[in-house]
Amino acid sequence: MKKRILSGMRPTGRLHLGHLVGTLDNWVSLQDEYECFYMVADWHALMSEYADPKNIKEYILDNVLDWLAFGISPAKSTIFIQSQVKEHLELYMFFSLITPLGLLERCPTYKEQLRQVTDRDISTYGFLGYPVLQAADILLYKAEAVPVGEDQLPHLELTRQIAKKFNHLYKKELFPSPQAILTKTSRLLGLDGRKMSKSYNNYIALSDSSEEILKKVAGMFTDPTRIRLADAGHPQACNVFSYYTIFAGQKKNEIEELCRKAKIGCTECKKQLGKIIADFLGPYQEKRHQLSKNKKHIFDILEEGRKKATLVASKTINEVRGLLKIKYGL
């Protein structure tokens, strides 16, 4: 029997190259070895976007299109929307009973978000419970592993603590202790050299047109010590070059040499990179475009996913209700 994994993404924007190289690639390659549940975490998105939720619906479909175009396969994996499976909320409620308040208040991601997010009010009861809902997502399916980035490790630790406490309190090994499958921190930085992120507006979206890609790459920062064309470049210190190492295959060696010997200018170098990225994304975008023409097909996939997820989820919830004596009937 294959081990089960679950992971999710919040539908708060279009997906970009950072998501592809960090997360999506990883999800795709895990599909054969594991029984995979991939979830659109729309309730998690609402926890920060509740005051202005108008874009969430559009991003749900947008993100799922990217998942499918880049190789998440409904034949292999269960693809579903969190809010379609109400059992998540019920388990979240049960878990909230046993989660110590201090653990949530001390959670590093929580403290960091409170500090960083200034344009939305997240000092709410709901946002404090973010990791509790995440624990419910994972344990509802008794997932043994969770592919995530390093930033999510505190949430996984909390998930294990909740699972352990639950098992202990109700004297049953109901929940596993899920482990992280760590995505290597993405080697891909944003166009400006900071972490690639929607909020910095320094990303190339998976659905950007060729023109947009060329324009964005043309504006990238290069080796800061290279001022004139005649100056030798330092590819290792250049963010543009790190994109070459990921997307350009053999061509990267050629560029490395040209740059070191000052035989190529940064403008030309970026022009070529823009084309390489646009050519790389092209076939996926074509697939995405084809998929987007048949929305019914996408909704069928999500409906199928909802059913498969619900089958597992309702079984777990019944077990939990039994242990907590919340059961009606004989």
Positive or negative, the Cα torsion across 139, 140, 145, 148?
A: negative
63 binds ligand TRP (CB under 6 A): no
Distances (CA, A) of 236 to 145, 233, 245, 265: 35, 9, 10, 16
87 binds ligand TRP (CB under 6 A): no
Instruction: Please identify, among the stretches 6-14, 89-97, 283-291, 298-306, the one whose residues bind ligand TRP according to the rule CB under 6 A.
Output: 6-14
**Binding partner of 233, given ligand TRP, ligand SF4, none, CB within 5-8 angstroms per partner class:** ligand SF4
Pairing of strands 145-148, 179-182: parallel
d(CA 151, CA 130): 14
Residues 221-260 binding ligand SF4 (CB under 6 A) are 222-223, 226, 233, 235, 238, 240-241, 255, 259
Q: Show the DSSP H helices in 170-265 as ranges.
A: 210-218, 239-247, 251-260
Give yes or no for a contact between 214 and 28, defined as CB atoms under 8 angstroms apart.
Answer: no
By beta-carbon proximity to ligand SF4, the closer residue of 269 and 278 is 269
**Binding partner of 266, given ligand SF4, ligand TRP, none, CB within 5-8 angstroms per partner class:** ligand SF4
Instruction: Please identify, among the stretches 93-101, 132-140, 180-188, 315-323, the one whose residues bind ligand TRP according to the rule CB under 6 A.
Output: 132-140
Q: Which two tokens stand for residue 245?
A: 């190492």
**Binding partner of 44, given ligand TRP, ligand SF4, none, CB within 5-8 angstroms per partner class:** ligand TRP
CA atoms lying within 13 Å on the CB side of residue 167:
13
- Eight-state DSSP code of residue 195: B
Q: Which two tokens stand for residue 29?
A: 């390659």
| Options 49, 66, 87, 137; binder of ligand TRP; rule CB under 6 A | 137
78 binds ligand TRP (CB under 6 A): no
- Looking at residue 297, its amino acid is H
| Options 4, 44, 216, 226; binder of ligand TRP; rule CB under 6 A | 44
**Binding partner of 259, given ligand SF4, ligand TRP, none, CB within 5-8 angstroms per partner class:** ligand SF4
Give yes or no for a contact between 36 and 73, defined as CB atoms under 8 angstroms apart.
Answer: no
**Binding partner of 240, given ligand TRP, ligand SF4, none, CB within 5-8 angstroms per partner class:** ligand SF4
By beta-carbon proximity to ligand SF4, the closer residue of 268 and 303 is 268
10 binds ligand TRP (CB under 6 A): yes
Q: Which two tokens stand for residue 311?
A: 């089958």
CA 75 to mean position of chain CA atoms: 21
**Binding partner of 68, given ligand TRP, ligand SF4, none, CB within 5-8 angstroms per partner class:** none
